[in-house]
Structure formats: C-alpha cells, structure tokens
C-alpha cells in the first residue's frame, strides 16, 4: 500500500512534534522503542500497539525517619526507607535528594521537614515532620562570611561614598581568568555621575536567635522607610538570600535589576563588604552591579 504523498508532506512537522511529546511521556522507554511505536502510528499497518506507564505509587507506601542527636538536637538525621523511589526532602533553608542526610539547624525553634519521592509513576507528595531545636549554637556557622557580615552582636552597614559602586563581569566571583572575569570599581572622586553624594540609609545583619536582616532606606525627599526580614548565606556559592526586604543601594539603578534579594558576595572583610546584584534589565548588557559598604560609625 502506498501513502498519499501530499498527506505525508503535510504531516512532517506534526510527526516531529508528536514524537517529541511522546518521547517525554514515555520517559523510561528507550528512544528506539519510542520511534518504533510512533512509526506504527503513522504507517498503513492496521496493527495497534499500546504502552502502559507504571502505576503511581501510593502516598501510604512512603516511609521515612527523622531523628535528632540527643546531645545536640541542632543535628537532624534524615533517612528515606521508601523502596524504589528517590527521596525529596524540603527543610525550609534547603532541599536534599539523599537517602541519608544530616541537616544542621543552628538556631532554636520549631522547623518543618517535608518528605516526598520521585518514583517510576511520577512525583508523590508525602508527609511532614515538625522538630524542635532547644538551643542556639553559632559554632555551626564556621564560614568566616557569617562573621564578616553579622559579627557576634550584629553589624550595621552604610554605603561607602568614597567608592560606592562598581561593575563586575559574570565570572568575577569565580576569578577564573576568563574574558568575563573583570571589574571596574572607580573612586567616587572624579566619577560623581554614578550617584548623588548623600545619605541613602543603612542595613543591619545579626544572628540574635535567627538570621535577621533589616534595611532603612532614605529617599531623596528625606522620607525614611524601614523593612525587616531575614537572610541566609550559601557559603558554597557565595550567594546571600534576602527575605522580606531588598538590598540597600544608591543611585538610579533599581530599574536595571529584576531581583534585589539574590545577592552575590564580590568582596568581604570585617570592615568592608561589596555585594552585587545581577543587572539584567539594561540595554548596556548583563553584569554584576556591586555596591560597597562600610560599618556605620
């Protein structure tokens, strides 16, 4: 039997799209098996082939354990005992797909740990466990960035108007020597165009029974606005996450950045920090805009 060449030509695009959708749907099948099945769909053979996906796992089949170190309940142990599935733990400050994992909660309080799995039949949401941490133990925060930004009793930062702003390539935080590993952070003297020399406000970080953050912004009109929230540092990536409030900044740059809460650590010491936001809304292209801060006197 010969196929109508006009029908065959008109369905080239449709066949390709259908093949792509089916390949995603069939997941566990090999590419060869998927193509053989699709060939049957578009051939003149009257035979029909059906493929059955695995049944979804019941949430009642999920099994896991959450326990704490009896001597230091800041240390929480996760164990997935569900057979034939990949665990997905969500503990608020992060996630894990490990069968066994140890999570540290430095601060006292109640925390909710959500457990779900990915199985052959799809994603299965599971149950949650609430744990209680009795005492705050800052000895778990061993990376120096915690001390640099918050110290033992908290730190308040203001823009350093001697060099308030600079621009950095995408690879500057990696210092890998690529073409995007560049920076231009001029002195304010001679570059007053970058922003007006005035008081833009302050931001405060502390670890007083939590990762606390607040920012007080002063508008050009003198209006003061204060917002409070929290922060977290991913020490492996050098990123700071602000929650509930944005980064303190100066100048007319807010419209050039879509996210003022995902912050890159560009440079940091006990008395000076440079924090970057990703410029992604400017016709001049993408890069980090870095603001330099000093301790408030």
- The secondary element (H helix, E strand) that includes residue 276 is strand 272-279
The Cα-based distances of 144 to 152, 248, 269 in angstroms read 12, 22, 9
pLDDT at 46: 54
Least confident residue range of 1-5, 70-74, 260-264: 1-5
Q: Which residues of 18-30 are buried (b: 16+ CB within 10 A; e: fewer)?
A: ebeebeeebeebe
Look at 25 and 283; give whichever has higher pLDDT: 283
Q: For all residues of the chain together, what is the average pLDDT?
A: 86
pLDDT at 121: 87
Answer whether residue 6 shows pLDDT above 70: no
* Mean pLDDT calculated for residue range 70-82: 97
Q: What is the pLDDT of residues 164-181, one digit of tens each?
A: 999 999 999 999 999 999
pLDDT at 49: 65
What percent of the chain is modeled with pLDDT above 70? 82
- 281, 264 Cβ separation under 8 angstroms: no
Closest CA to 126 of 139, 140, 112: 112
pLDDT at 94: 83
pTM: 0.71
Look at 55 and 201; give whichever has higher pLDDT: 201
- 112, 92 Cβ separation under 8 angstroms: yes
Look at 55 and 31; give whichever has higher pLDDT: 55
Q: What is the pLDDT of residues 104-140, one digit of tens each?
A: 999 999 999 999 999 988 999 999 999 999 999 999 9
* Mean pLDDT calculated for residue range 203-228: 96
Phi, psi of 26 (to 5 degrees): -75, -20
- Residue 7, SS3 per DSSP: helix
Residue 249, Cβ density class (10 Å: 0-12 exposed, 13-18 middle, ≥19 buried): buried
Residue 56 — very low, low, confident or very high, per pLDDT cuts 50/70/90? confident
pLDDT at 138: 92
Residue 47 — very low, low, confident or very high, per pLDDT cuts 50/70/90? low
CA 103, 245, 170: angle at the middle one, nearest 5?
75
- Residue 71, SS3 per DSSP: coil
- 131, 76 Cβ separation under 8 angstroms: yes
Residue 207, Cβ density class (10 Å: 0-12 exposed, 13-18 middle, ≥19 buried): buried
pLDDT at 293: 98
pLDDT at 27: 42
- Measured on CA atoms in the order 101, 58, 23, 21, is the torsion positive or negative? negative
- Residue 82, SS3 per DSSP: coil
Answer whether residue 24 shows pLDDT above 80: no
Question: What are the beta bridge partners of residue 224?
Answer: 218
Q: What is the pLDDT of residues 219-255, one digit of tens each?
A: 999 999 999 999 999 998 999 999 999 999 999 999 9
């Amino acid at each position: 039997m010969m196929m109508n060449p006009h029908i065959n030509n008109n369905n080239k695009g449709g066949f390709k799209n259908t093949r792509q959708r089916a390949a995603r749907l069939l997941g566990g099948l090999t590419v060869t098996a998927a193509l053989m099945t699709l060939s049957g769909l578009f051939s003149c053979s009257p035979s029909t082939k059906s493929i059955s996906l695995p049944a979804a796992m019941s949430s009642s089949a999920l099994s896991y354990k959450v326990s704490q170190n009896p001597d230091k309940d800041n240390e929480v142990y996760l164990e997935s005992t569900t057979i034939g599935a990949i665990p997905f733990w969500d503990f608020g400050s992060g996630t894990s797909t490990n069968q066994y994992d140890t999570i540290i909660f430095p601060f006292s309080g109640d925390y909710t740990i959500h457990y779900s799995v990915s199985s052959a039949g799809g994603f299965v949401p599971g149950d949650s466990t609430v744990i209680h941490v009795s005492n705050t133990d800052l000895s778990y925060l061993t990376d120096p960035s915690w001390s640099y930004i918050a110290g033992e009793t908290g730190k308040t930062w203001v823009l350093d108007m001697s060099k308030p702003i600079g621009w950095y390539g995408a690879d500057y935080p990696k210092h890998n020597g690529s073409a995007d590993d560049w920076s231009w952070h001029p002195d304010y003297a001679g570059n007053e165009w970058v922003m007006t020399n005035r008081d833009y406000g302050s931001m405060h970080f502390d670890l007083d029974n939590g990762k606390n953050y607040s920012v007080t912004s002063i508008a050009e009109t003198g209006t003061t606005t204060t917002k409070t929230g929290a922060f977290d540092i991913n020490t492996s990536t050098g990123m700071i996450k602000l929650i509930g409030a944005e980064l303190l900044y100066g100048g007319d740059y807010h419209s050039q950045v879509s996210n003022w809460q995902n912050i890159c650590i560009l440079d940091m010491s006990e008395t000076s920090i440079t924090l970057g936001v990703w410029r992604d809304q400017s016709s001049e292209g993408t890069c980090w805009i870095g603001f330099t801060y000093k301790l408030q006197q």
